[in-house]
Each structure stands twice: as C-alpha cells, then as structure tokens.
Amino acid sequence: MDLYPQLYRKKNKASLVYHGLFDYPLSERELVRWTIGEKVEFGREPEILEVDGYFGLDAGSVVKRKMREAVSREKMKVAKKAARVIGGLPSVKMVAVTGSLAMENASREADIDLMLVTSGGTLWVSRALVYFLLYLGGHSVRRFGVKDERDKLCLNIWMDETSLEWEQKNIFTAHEVLAAKPLVNKDGTYERYIGSNRWALEYWQKGIKRDTRYVKRDTSLTERILSAMLRVLEPVARLVQKRYMRDKVTHEKVGKRRAVFHPNDLSPVIIALLVSRGFVFNE
C-alpha cells in the first residue's frame, strides 16, 4: 500500500503533527488508523520526513520511539501479570492498559496506567478487593504523594459497566479512548465500551483497532452470583474509601459509577498546543 500520495493530504499531516507532540512517528498502517476525523481541520503544510518506515516531523523521534517500544514491552509484562490477578475477581469485567503504554511509547520512568470496568453496582467494593489482591501478590502500586512512579501500577480509571461513555469529549480524550488495550474482557465489555464512545471516531475516523489477542470470555453463573452478593457491600465500601480520600482529592472525578484519578488534566494543554500549530475544532 503506497501512502506517499496520502501524505499530501492535510488530514494525514495533522495526525503526524498531533503525534509529534508525543515524539511518536507513525508507520504506514498507523497513519491509516489515526486519520483525523470530521471534527478537525488543519490548514498548514509541515514538512514530512520518512525514516526506517516511519513518518514524522523529526528524524530523532524515530530513535526515541524504538527505545520506548523496548521499554514498553517490559512494562507490558508487568501489566499482564497484574491483569491476570485482577481479572480473577468475579466483579471485574475489563482491564485495559491506557496512556503511553497503550501506544508502546512509555518512558523508562513511567508508571503503568490501567483502566478497570466492574459489574453494575460493584465499583467501590471491587476497587477495595483489587487493591487487597495486588497487595497480597506483592505488586507495586503507585501511592498518593509518592513521586517515584517507575513501573508502578496506576489504577486511575474505574468505570461501572452501566456508565461507559466518556464525559469529556475532545481530540485528546478520544485518542485515549481508542488507544486503550484490553488485557481482560468479559462478556464483550470492551466492545460495549467502544460502542458507547463512538463519538471518538469524529476525531479519529478509523481509530478502532481490531485485536482479538486479549483474554475474552463470558462470566460463569457462579461469578454472576458472587457479583450480586458483592453489591450488598458496595455502599459501605464507597463510604469508607471516600472518607479516606477526602483530604487527598483535588481535580479527580469521583462518583457512584465513575472514579477518574487524573489530578492533572492534559486536555487544555494539548488542545492549546494544537491550535497554535494550525488545528481548528468544529463543534
């Protein structure tokens, strides 16, 4: 597939500019996947470089990407090991890697971002059990106020399966939604997650990746019964954890069916940088 003619399209150049913010040149296949959608316009003509089969704006970013791919492979082993433990809980319906690791672009000092989806009405009790299991298994989890984050698990996105649509909708969150890599997927939860967030395709029109390498299975009757039993403990688990977090929460969004622990929202910064580089967003 010859994509050189496509590189003259502004939508493709816009994608390279976006990923250039993260020092992430794109291969031919990735250039197709991350084609800018209808909500985005781009009016500039940056110079495109090709190095070792990657397209980007900076030749040095190719070296950086290859180094980060090697680092990411090691971090992914840690993530998969933790996902096997977490996925054993009957109320955990999906475990996915997000952030830089999902793009295989993690730096050596980066943590390991995970998103979890729980069965309906069990988010907080599931969260307590997940942390307990990880503690028993000796997994390194990122703690509040601790600056050293290298290779530590950061369970920063929790969603109830009845609330899968992302609230904040922009080009950055759309990319995060579509880039998420499922490691555990029960009852087609990942497919429902993507279906609930098809708005993201308005920013990245071909961003859904067809990948069946993750663990995909249906929950058993026993697991469904245990999940139902855990719902009884949900109010107490939520109350205890919210009291514990009371003095620690800053900009995090915490509710009954959604808990997002991102103290620093990167969306405004990313969008401002893109606008300064010629992006226009259609509402």
Please report the pLDDT score of residue 144 as a whole number: 65
Report which of residues 195 and 215 the model is more confident about. 195
With a cut of 90, say whether residue 172 has pLDDT above it: yes
232 CB contacts (<8 Å, ≥6 apart)? none
Report which of residues 114 and 1 the model is more confident about. 114
Please report the pLDDT score of residue 114 as a whole number: 97
How many other CB atoms sit within 10 Å of the CB of residue 228?
Answer: 15
Could you give the domains of the chain? 5-64+270-281 (no CATH), 70-264 (3.30.460.10)
Mean pLDDT confidence for 129-152? 86
- Residue-wise pLDDT tens digits, 221-242: 999 999 999 999 999 999 999 8
Please report the pLDDT score of residue 143 as a whole number: 77
- Report the percent of the chain where pLDDT is more than 70: 91
Mean pLDDT confidence for 205-223? 80
Residue position matching structure tokens 């950061």: 154
Residue-averaged pLDDT of the chain: 90
Mean pLDDT confidence for 114-142? 95
With a cut of 60, say whether residue 7 has pLDDT above it: no
231 CB contacts (<8 Å, ≥6 apart)? 120, 121, 122, 125
- Of residues 26, 41, 58, the one with CA closest to residue 277: 41
160 CB contacts (<8 Å, ≥6 apart)? 117, 118, 119, 120, 121, 122, 123, 256, 257, 258
What are the C-alpha distances in Å from 239 to residues 13, 128, 217, 234?
49, 12, 32, 9
pTM of the model: 0.90
Please report the pLDDT score of residue 11 as a whole number: 78
* Winning range, highest mean pLDDT, from 30-44, 48-62, 97-111: 97-111
Mean pLDDT confidence for 192-197? 96
- Give the integer Cα–Cα distance in Å for 157 and 259: 6
With a cut of 90, say whether residue 193 has pLDDT above it: yes
Please report the pLDDT score of residue 261 as a whole number: 83
Please report the pLDDT score of residue 113 as a whole number: 95
- Residue-wise pLDDT tens digits, 53-93: 899 988 889 999 999 999 999 999 999 999 999 999 999 99
Please report the pLDDT score of residue 3 as a whole number: 53
Please report the pLDDT score of residue 217 as a whole number: 82
